[in-house]
Amino acid sequence: MKNQQLIDRLDQLPAQIAEVSTQLMELQQKSQDLKNEQVDLELQIKMNILTEVDDNGKKVYSNAESRDAALSERAKAHPQLCEIAASLGDLDKQIQMIKINLEKLANEQRNIRSIMAFIASGSANDL
């Protein structure tokens, strides 16, 4: 790259970094919203399990292990929870890809700055 190309690229990078950072924040917020929705649904299921009684008025799930097993079983069968889990998995992949891209852009910016500093120091003329 020529000096002007380096300068132009260095000038473009902050806007690109800001755009990718904004995308990352939006996906992280979407992920957090889904996690909150997941917790709310799980709490509803837990409340149903805790209050469930048999024909004699006795609690169906009298100990923590049976309640946990019931929660696990019902969560796996709950379509909305399954959908949320799948969406969270997809979002996590997208977030990781954006983080990789953000790191790449930051590295590129840092490298160009180093090259420009090297050029400005006059050491490039010695090559």
**According to the 3-state scheme, what is the secondary structure of 46-97?**
HHHHHHCECCCCCECCCCHHHHHHHHHHHHHHCHHHHHHHHHHHHHHHHHHH
Pick the closest to residue 21 from 96, 97, 99, 90 (CA basis): 99
Domain locations along the chain:
3-126
**CATH class of the domain comprising 3-126:** mainly alpha
pLDDT, tens only, 95-126:
999 999 999 999 999 999 999 999 888 876 66
Give the lowest-confidence range in 31-40, 55-64, 88-97, 115-124: 115-124
Identify the pLDDT of residue 58. Answer: 92
State mean pLDDT over 2-21: 95
Chain mean pLDDT for the chain:
94
State mean pLDDT over 28-35: 98
